[in-house]
Structure formats: C-alpha cells, structure tokens
Amino acid sequence: MARTWQPTRILGKGPWSLLPAQTWSVLTDFVIFAGGLSVFYVIVVLARTWFGPFNPHVEISRDPTKLPMYAAYSLLRITVAYILSLAFTLVYGYVAAYNATAERIMIPLLDILQSIPVLSFLPGVMLAMVALFPRHQIGVELGAILLIFTGQVWNMAFSFYSSLKSIPRDMREAAQIYRFNWYQRFTQFELPYAAIGLVWNSMMSVAGGWFFLMACEMFVLGDRDFRLPGLGSYLQTAASAGDTQAILWGIGVMIAVIVLLDQIVWRPVIAWAEKFKMEQVESADAPRSWFLNVVEHSRGLIKLRKRMLRPLGERLAMHFAHQHHAVDEDAPPAAWKVWTGRAIATIAVLAVLYAVSRAIAMLTGLNGMEYRELLTGAGATFLRVLAALVIGAAWTIPAGVVIGFNPKLARIAQPLAQIAASVPATALFPIVLFMLIRIGGGLGFGSIVLLLLGTQWYILFNVIAGAMAIPTDLKEASALFKFTRGQRWRKLILPGIFPYLITGMVTASGGAWNASIVAEYFHLKDKTYTTVGLGATISHATDTGNFDLLLASTIVMAIVVVTVNRLVWRRMYRLAATRYTLDT
C-alpha cells in the first residue's frame, strides 16, 4: 500500500487536520507556487523601475502607507547584495584557504577592506555607477547594492575561510584516499562543515545590511541627490525630522519583515544545517521548522528535486570527475596559463602603483594641523572600539553559549536577536542622544553605546554558531565525567567556540570602526552633534567634499585596523587552526 504523509505529523493538530492528506498536499503545492509567483511578480515590477529614467530629485514621504512599497525596495536591494556576498565568500574564502601565496595577500586585503567605512566607498562607488548608467535609475540602484554588499560580505568571508582552515585532518586524509576532485571536496565536506557558521554569519550579514541601509539610501553629495525610496531612507528622514511616530512605524514594518524572513528563510535553514553537525550522537532536541517540514513534504518540490536538481547534481559531479582524472596533477601548468597569470599580476602591480602615486599627491595637500587631528581622532576611536568590544564580549559570550546549548531557547532568542541586530541603531539614536543630554552625557559616551548596538551582534551570532557546532557526544562526555562549571568552560566550551569567537571578534572590531562614521557624527533637526574621533573626521570630510582629508582618514583607519589584526587576531586564527580543531 502506498504510504501518504499526514499533515498532523508535520504541523500538529488543527483545522487543517480535517482535510484529506492528498487534498492538503495539493493545497500546499498551490500555496508554495502562488507565493513564489507573487514574489517573482513583485521583483519584476520593482526591477522595472531600475531601468527607467534617472530621477535626480527624490522626495521621501513619511506617510506610513508608503512603507510596504519602501520595504519591498529595501528587501530586494538587500537580497541582491546578499547573493553577491555569498558568491564572493565562497570563491574568496576557498582561494585564500588553499593557496598559500594568495593567502598572504588576500587575508590582509580582507582586513583592509572590512575596515574601510561605507562612507569612504560611498562617493566613488556611487559616482562610478552613475557614470556607467547616466540616464537610468539602475546606476544609483547598483551603487546602493554594492555599498550594502560592503556591509555584508566581510564577516561571511572570514567565517568561511576560518571554517576551511579548521577542517579536521582525518576528513582531509579521507578525501585524499578516495581521490575526491575539488567539486566533491567542496560539496561533500567543505561546504557542509562550514554550513553552521556560514548560516549564522549570513543572518548577521543581512542584519548588517539593514544597519547600513540608512546611509546607502540617503546619500547626497554636494548638490547631487542620490537618495532612493526604501525603509532606510524613510527611517533616516524620520530621524532627521525628529518624528518619533514615523520612526516607530518604520521600525514596526522592519520588525515585521525580519520576523517573516525568520520564519520562511532563516529558521528552515538553521534546521536544515543541523544535519551537517559533526557528532557521533544525534541531539535529542534539534532545531525544527514548520516551513521546512512543509517544503520537504511538498509533492511538487519532491518531483522537482528528483527530476531536475538531483540529475543536475549528478551530471556536475561526473563532469568534474572526468576532468579530474583527465588532468595529470604532476604535469607543469600550460604556458598560456603561466603567461596569463604574469600579465594579470603585472597589470595589478601597475594599477596599485598608479593608485599609490595619486594618493600621495592628494595627501601632500594636507597641513600639519589636519594630520594631528587624524592621529588624535584615531586614538579616541581606538579606545571607544576597545570599550565596545570588551562590553559586548562580556555579555554575548555567556548569552550565546546558553542559547546555543538550548535549542528551545534558541527558537525564541534567535529571531529576537536578529530583530535587535537588524534595527538600525541610528534610528534609535535620537532617543539615546536626548536621554544622554538630559543626564549630562555627551556624544563621547553616546558613541560607545551606538558602537555597541551595531557590533555586539557579530560576537553573539558567532558564539551561538560555535556552541551549536559542539558535538553532542562531547557534551554528554562532560556530563558523564561530572565536570564542574569551571572545568566545562575551560575544557569544552571555550575550546569549542574559540574559532567562531575569533571570527566574531575580528568582524565586530571591523564593524565598530565602520560604525564610528555614524556614531561620532550625527545630524538631528538641522543640528550636528560630533565628538573627537576618526569616524567624525570621515563623516565631516564627506559632508564638505574634502576628498584629501577623506582619503587620509580612511588610510589611517585601515592602517590601525590591519596593525591590530596582524598583531592580535592573526595569531588567534593560527592558534584556532592548530590547537582548537576537532582532530582525532
């Protein structure tokens, strides 16, 4: 007898349990198809405006009825930016992890790129995109997407790179014994091993996209208006006008979008990624998702997987397997490959030399007072970043471990943490600023609060991922040997989460420096609140169009961040890769 799935086993008891199983299956397929078609229609309608004529003057309305359309615009930009970020992460992290020569260049370059604030990218990227598409709106849209990309990609790249570097030795040896090609290694153990960290960092990246959305959608350079309709521009307009009601409306819609994404995207992905956890004993209380259960039991999607996705995967595997066996691994590379590599390297060196010469010419225009301002600001911002990291780590490490060890608590805390991480701190900052003014505090202390609001989530999400990745058999062994709380932290928890914690601290540090551009320089009701700091210098230089000072302050920030990473975080990464791995 054919076996049919029962909806009560998937969704529990309810009014739908009165329907026959086959009727419910057809209804589920119809709902999934209708939902996918609706999403596709909205994307087509919104994307159509991208190819329309460029609108040089955009009015951002504070009317709440505009919020659904604004939310759709922002969500589409963040989604496209995330797809670009994921593709960049997989390629960049893979090359950096397995090519020692490239690693020496790519990882310091990643440190530099993540330390450069969005506002430093903003003028050049936006002007370049508008120059490429001078008559169409797509230029400004692509500029905003690329800037959101710069706020999303770095922690994902660091996470994937760190996961690849900490893959257990026995897994690598098994892949060598069975002569896996690169495609088999990537799909069979590299990507699955990195899945949990990549999923949680993806959530943090999307949250970071919401955080920087306000700056990307509200960019004005001199008399040129590059504003875009969206939730970020709505919140920034409301914050600048001091319209608390509009701020609450905008935050409410943003929270609704985040909750919806949590239910239909992130929670299913978390439950799906649980199967990649390295353990010999299955967890008794694994993460679950009602939406994933519905999708997995949709007959239409099952047929799609069997008839299209699975054969496609098998053909790809066979194609790369034939290529792998046809290539002589000991043969020297072809001459054309050698000369192509040398030509690319030569062009890159010449481009770097040209950029350096232009930068030096711009820096010679600064006077001694401006250089002293840069050094003083760098010291002040460094102390604020350090304070934000210490305060953030003090509560996120224990909280992340508790959430990661308790799946029931994670089902409640994860969407709440994602909401808190996604709500732009700059939207709440007028309230924080008014409170600080009332109690006598200034922006010097308020900037630490804003840095903390924007960067502590990098640590929390990575610690949660690390705690969830600790094998269940190791947890049971610690209980069997009756570890004390101190022994459990020293011998199990801290070693288990260490690689993830370092990734979280590195990205939080870079994010804090990046967030200083809005934490130390804030517009409110036609009044500017500022304090001494490198972020304030960058924001002021952007406002006044002082590109010489903008370049100099960006270079100083990159130098400080890279120096700290080389002296501290790089050694921690090396320790994580050599000592705190799950080798047998």
Q: pTM to 2 decimals? A: 0.74
Contact 503, 154 (CB under 8 A): no
Confidence of residue 353 (pLDDT cuts 50, 70, 90): confident
**What pLDDT is recorded for position 30?**
73
Contact 421, 545 (CB under 8 A): no
**What pLDDT is recorded for position 390?**
93
**What pLDDT is recorded for position 284?**
54
Contact 70, 63 (CB under 8 A): no
Q: Over 90: is that where the pLDDT of 59 sits?
A: no
- Exposed (0-12), middle (13-18) or buried (19+): which is 78, by Cβ within 10 Å? buried
**What pLDDT is recorded for position 583?**
60
Distance CA 451, CA 458 (A): 12
Tokens 């609704």 -> residue? 256
SS3 502: helix
Confidence of residue 9 (pLDDT cuts 50, 70, 90): very low
The mean pLDDT value for 247-251 works out to 85
Angle, alpha carbons 529-530-536 (nearest 5°): 135
pLDDT tens profile 307-319:
887 777 777 777 7
What are the residues whose beta carbons fall under 8 Å from the beta carbon of 321, sequence distance 6 or more?
Answer: 181, 183, 184
Angle, alpha carbons 278-155-513 (nearest 5°): 145
Beta strands 521-524 and 224-225, pairing class: unpaired
**What pLDDT is recorded for position 399?**
92
Distance CA 499, CA 510 (A): 17
pLDDT tens profile 479-535:
888 888 888 998 899 988 998 898 888 888 877 887 787 778 876 666 777 888 888
pLDDT tens profile 287-301:
777 778 777 777 777
Of the two residues 195 and 215, the one the predictor is more confident about is 195
SS3 524: strand
Contact 297, 25 (CB under 8 A): yes
Q: Over 90: is that where the pLDDT of 146 sits?
A: no
Q: Over 80: is that where the pLDDT of 259 sits?
A: yes
Q: Over 70: is that where the pLDDT of 584 sits?
A: no
The mean pLDDT value for 420-430 works out to 65
